[in-house]
Chain A
């Protein structure tokens, strides 16, 4: 391999955003016919790197080479023209158009006077579909296809240009096992044609099944490249998280009260089934699982955003019916949502107004909102949570992720909840603020709140939880106490390996 020229090479890429060094001197290359995994925790810089490669972000310094030629990526279109194509996790297809129109979107074949050459379009599309070995034809409406087939359309789009490198970003996130096999066949086919593949995924099993080399990013820095055949999961994980697998467990123990929230046989259609768990006052219950395992949906049901198809929710052993967030708040349940910016905050509003949003009704003096009462609440929780902002007038959209999250948490704490559900507490938050948020969660439990933490990051779940519920594909696979949980049995539980044993 050493004599070959890489199809794609990134050298010394640096990218900074205000306050964050997102990429720090990252180099990375893909050989022809190679499947090269790019791994790293959330926030390690994978997506930023791909955005630089795709021409969405301009790097501060560094150089991209296609073959031996240096290129400057200025737009996704240009990246594609130079032979670098992306298969994104989030599909970007036009549902109402046919497969053929989607595959050749923006580059429909023409035959004079701006008319579309439909015959050529469908012939070309069918040729591509044939190489993908799929069971639908070019006239099918994309919205009628399954997610897996839509992904094939997306891949088909990549094949219109004779790609030199294809980047797959978490391609299997929403695929079944059978569909994965088809995808891997397509990847193998691309490989045999000398295309370089960048494969981004968190799933070790897949990585070891199809990749040749693994490169790891951590905190925006390149941490090394391993040859897949010569390494194991432990070494990769260690490189990713920067320490031995022995992660710091939650070791603080304090008095727990009685059960605050209990869920019995809760189901919500196909999203999750027969979920049982309970959480005590003073306890942190962690929910761990892959994206799409149903964790967020459970939280949304408890918070009244979804209607369960079966099961009971009990607060202090009394069954309650929660049909809206208003009900949930009245019962003392609060949810810090998964997506802070789109679900948790009114970004255009100032800090104080965001914090008092759910209770502004109660802060009035006559017909008007009482400034003083609001500022008092803001000050109290700013001090309590150590929120760093120039003042309450600061627009929330201008704060850092960590401080934004504290505003959301402060918003709910000021409502004096019994049960606090925190979904992905540290998503998109820098490392320093992460541990602050973790300590905050532990402190809240110590103060007697019943806390549920949903997270996709294993270190986080291990660090904050007293007990951990492992979910896979809409089902609770196993419940662990913090003493009995290990990296191994947790991974097994959430990837469905332990399914047979438990069931």
Chain B
């Protein structure tokens, strides 16, 4: 694009540059320190990394749209858990068992529908009450998690269906099922955000809600649609993950909302809305997974990993602010 200036280029490609730096760092440090006898940069390791980034990645892609639209959804982790329970539990229902493998698409349908309905609840409340999405989804995060515990108490919900496991563990052209879903969702959402009316309006609403209303855009339905979409994606993420694992704990999916937001922000999407990109979020997701995996590779424990990710996030936002400064004219705060 001819009119993008240098700053924009830097910002857009920053996340991919960061990924390259990470790869180089972990490959070299891993070898020099020889803490691990495996090579970090092996194809299998990278394919696994993509697969592992899918669950949060799919949610983060949905979160990108929500945030571009000027909202936020904190309830996705709870939605994720509830959809997982619906998936696994529905497979044990007598009439479903009678269906044999035909129960699988039905169970998927139930789980996905659960996500859509929960999302619609969020969207409807945000639309009709005008309460800030942060508050609404904070409440529904607690509420949905409550439903999760009501379902089965503290007990895990388990059901292993081998057809499902085979499907989830399959590799096509080298990529795992989960990776294909991640890429597929990214492609579809990219098309939605860049090519459709809904995407265009979502950007406009997030950037300047008043101007969007003045242009005759119905803000509420767009909110609603996006919340349904992220609910669907949270459920999709659960469906893919639990098809393989077959057992869901009532605490599963906790903090997923924050990991998703972290990935989105790392990818450059603005918390205030109106600016962001699906592709950059994909980069953010991969960057975070690389960090977790890479730090593990060179021998760091989980606590250290979280500390490092936190520091990097602050560093990134600080850099972003420096890039965005208008110069000396800007008001000093």
Partner-B contacts on A (CB < 8 A): 56-58, 75, 303, 305, 324-326, 328-329, 335, 337, 342-349, 353, 357-358, 360-361, 364, 367-369, 390-391, 393-395, 411
Do B274 and A342 touch across chains, with their CB atoms under 8 A apart?
no
Residues from chain A with Cβ under 8 Å of B207 in the complex: 346-349
Shortest beta-carbon distance from A301 to chain B in Å: 14
Do A349 and B203 touch across chains, with their CB atoms under 8 A apart?
yes
* Alpha-carbon separation in the docked complex, A395 to B191 (Å): 21
Residue from B196, B208, B274, B328 within 8 A of A367 (CB atoms): B196
Residues from chain B with Cβ under 8 Å of A324 in the complex: 216
Residue from B2, B3, B195, B217 within 8 A of A395 (CB atoms): B3
Residues from chain A with Cβ under 8 Å of B197 in the complex: 360-361, 364, 369
Do A390 and B3 touch across chains, with their CB atoms under 8 A apart?
yes
* Alpha-carbon separation in the docked complex, A305 to B215 (Å): 11
Do A342 and B208 touch across chains, with their CB atoms under 8 A apart?
yes
Do B3 and A391 touch across chains, with their CB atoms under 8 A apart?
yes
Residues from chain A with Cβ under 8 Å of B218 in the complex: 326
Do B203 and A56 touch across chains, with their CB atoms under 8 A apart?
no
**In the assembled complex, B6 has its CB within 8 A of some CB on chain A:** no
Residues from chain B with Cβ under 8 Å of A364 in the complex: 196-197
Q: What are 17 A-B residue pairs whose CB atoms fall within 8 Å in the complex?
A: A303-B214, A335-B214, A337-B214, A342-B211, A346-B208, A346-B212, A348-B274, A349-B204, A353-B203, A357-B200, A358-B216, A360-B197, A368-B196, A369-B196, A390-B3, A391-B2, A411-B215
Do B216 and A325 touch across chains, with their CB atoms under 8 A apart?
yes
Do B200 and A345 touch across chains, with their CB atoms under 8 A apart?
no
Residues from chain A with Cβ under 8 Å of B3 in the complex: 390-391, 393-395
Do A58 and B328 touch across chains, with their CB atoms under 8 A apart?
yes
The 3 closest A-B pairs by CB, nearest first: A368-B195, A358-B215, A357-B215
Residue from B1, B200, B210, B329 within 8 A of A343 (CB atoms): B210
* Alpha-carbon separation in the docked complex, A349 to B211 (Å): 12
* Alpha-carbon separation in the docked complex, A328 to B4 (Å): 36
1/0 contact trace for B177-197 toward A, CB 8 Å?
000000000000001000111
Residues from chain B with Cβ under 8 Å of A57 in the complex: 329
Shortest beta-carbon distance from B164 to chain A in Å: 31
Do B1 and A326 touch across chains, with their CB atoms under 8 A apart?
no
Do B191 and A368 touch across chains, with their CB atoms under 8 A apart?
yes
* Alpha-carbon separation in the docked complex, A353 to B329 (Å): 29
Beta-carbon nearest neighbor of B273 in chain A = A348
Shortest beta-carbon distance from A348 to chain B in Å: 4
**In the assembled complex, B332 has its CB within 8 A of some CB on chain A:** yes
* Alpha-carbon separation in the docked complex, A346 to B4 (Å): 17
* Alpha-carbon separation in the docked complex, A369 to B216 (Å): 17
Shortest beta-carbon distance from A51 to chain B in Å: 10
Residues from chain B with Cβ under 8 Å of A360 in the complex: 197, 200-201
Known contacts A349-B204, A360-B201, A368-B195; A325/B211 CB under 8 A: no
1/0 contact trace for B53-87 toward A, CB 8 Å?
00000000000000000000000000000000000
Do A343 and B211 touch across chains, with their CB atoms under 8 A apart?
yes
Partner-A contacts on B (CB < 8 A): 1-4, 191, 195-197, 200-201, 203-204, 207-208, 210-218, 274-275, 328-329, 331-332
* Alpha-carbon separation in the docked complex, A324 to B217 (Å): 10
Most buried by A among B200, B203, B211: B211
Do A325 and B213 touch across chains, with their CB atoms under 8 A apart?
yes
Beta-carbon nearest neighbor of A412 in chain B = B215
Beta-carbon nearest neighbor of B212 in chain A = A346
* Alpha-carbon separation in the docked complex, A348 to B197 (Å): 17
Residues from chain A with Cβ under 8 Å of B200 in the complex: 353, 357, 360, 369
Shortest beta-carbon distance from B139 to chain A in Å: 24
Do A357 and B196 touch across chains, with their CB atoms under 8 A apart?
no
* Alpha-carbon separation in the docked complex, A390 to B329 (Å): 25
* Alpha-carbon separation in the docked complex, A75 to B330 (Å): 12
Do A357 and B191 touch across chains, with their CB atoms under 8 A apart?
no
Beta-carbon nearest neighbor of B201 in chain A = A360
Residues from chain B with Cβ under 8 Å of A353 in the complex: 200, 203-204
Residue from B2, B210, B274 within 8 A of A390 (CB atoms): B2
* Alpha-carbon separation in the docked complex, A329 to B213 (Å): 11
Do A346 and B331 touch across chains, with their CB atoms under 8 A apart?
no
Residues from chain B with Cβ under 8 Å of A411 in the complex: 215
Beta-carbon nearest neighbor of B203 in chain A = A349
Residues from chain A with Cβ under 8 Å of B328 in the complex: 58
Residues from chain A with Cβ under 8 Å of B201 in the complex: 357, 360
Residue from A75, A303, A361, A393 within 8 A of B332 (CB atoms): A75
* Alpha-carbon separation in the docked complex, A395 to B214 (Å): 19
Shortest beta-carbon distance from B162 to chain A in Å: 38
Beta-carbon nearest neighbor of A75 in chain B = B332
Beta-carbon nearest neighbor of B195 in chain A = A368
Shortest beta-carbon distance from A307 to chain B in Å: 15
Known contacts A58-B328, A369-B197, A391-B2; A347/B208 CB under 8 A: yes
Residue from B191, B195, B216, B275 within 8 A of A329 (CB atoms): B216
Residues from chain B with Cβ under 8 Å of A75 in the complex: 332
* Alpha-carbon separation in the docked complex, A345 to B215 (Å): 9
Residues from chain A with Cβ under 8 Å of B204 in the complex: 346, 349, 353, 357
* Alpha-carbon separation in the docked complex, A342 to B209 (Å): 9
Residues from chain A with Cβ under 8 Å of B274 in the complex: 346, 348
Known contacts A56-B331, A361-B197; A346/B203 CB under 8 A: yes
Known contacts A75-B332, A360-B197, A391-B3; A346/B214 CB under 8 A: no
* Alpha-carbon separation in the docked complex, A346 to B273 (Å): 12
* Alpha-carbon separation in the docked complex, A347 to B201 (Å): 14
Beta-carbon nearest neighbor of A327 in chain B = B216
* Alpha-carbon separation in the docked complex, A342 to B208 (Å): 7
Residues from chain B with Cβ under 8 Å of A390 in the complex: 2-3
* Alpha-carbon separation in the docked complex, A328 to B213 (Å): 12
Residue from A345, A361, A369, A391 within 8 A of B195 (CB atoms): A369
Do B216 and A344 touch across chains, with their CB atoms under 8 A apart?
no
Residues from chain A with Cβ under 8 Å of B1 in the complex: 393
* Alpha-carbon separation in the docked complex, A381 to B285 (Å): 42
Beta-carbon nearest neighbor of A361 in chain B = B197
Residues from chain A with Cβ under 8 Å of B275 in the complex: 348
Do A357 and B208 touch across chains, with their CB atoms under 8 A apart?
no
Residues from chain B with Cβ under 8 Å of A358 in the complex: 215-217
Residues from chain B with Cβ under 8 Å of A393 in the complex: 1-4
Supply 6 further A-B pairs (C-beta < 8 A) apart from A345-B211, A348-B274. Answer: A57-B329, A325-B213, A325-B216, A348-B275, A357-B215, A393-B3
Beta-carbon nearest neighbor of A394 in chain B = B3
Known contacts A346-B208, A347-B208, A394-B3; A325/B214 CB under 8 A: yes
Beta-carbon nearest neighbor of B205 in chain A = A346
Shortest beta-carbon distance from B213 to chain A in Å: 6
Shortest beta-carbon distance from B7 to chain A in Å: 12
* Alpha-carbon separation in the docked complex, A353 to B199 (Å): 12
Most buried by B among A56, A335, A368: A368
* Alpha-carbon separation in the docked complex, A328 to B218 (Å): 13
Most buried by A among B2, B3, B217: B3
Beta-carbon nearest neighbor of A335 in chain B = B214
* Alpha-carbon separation in the docked complex, A75 to B333 (Å): 10
* Alpha-carbon separation in the docked complex, A326 to B218 (Å): 8
Shortest beta-carbon distance from B183 to chain A in Å: 20
Residues from chain B with Cβ under 8 Å of A344 in the complex: 211, 214
Residue from A58, A348, A357 within 8 A of B217 (CB atoms): A357
* Alpha-carbon separation in the docked complex, A47 to B17 (Å): 44
* Alpha-carbon separation in the docked complex, A342 to B195 (Å): 25
Residues from chain A with Cβ under 8 Å of B216 in the complex: 324-326, 328-329, 358
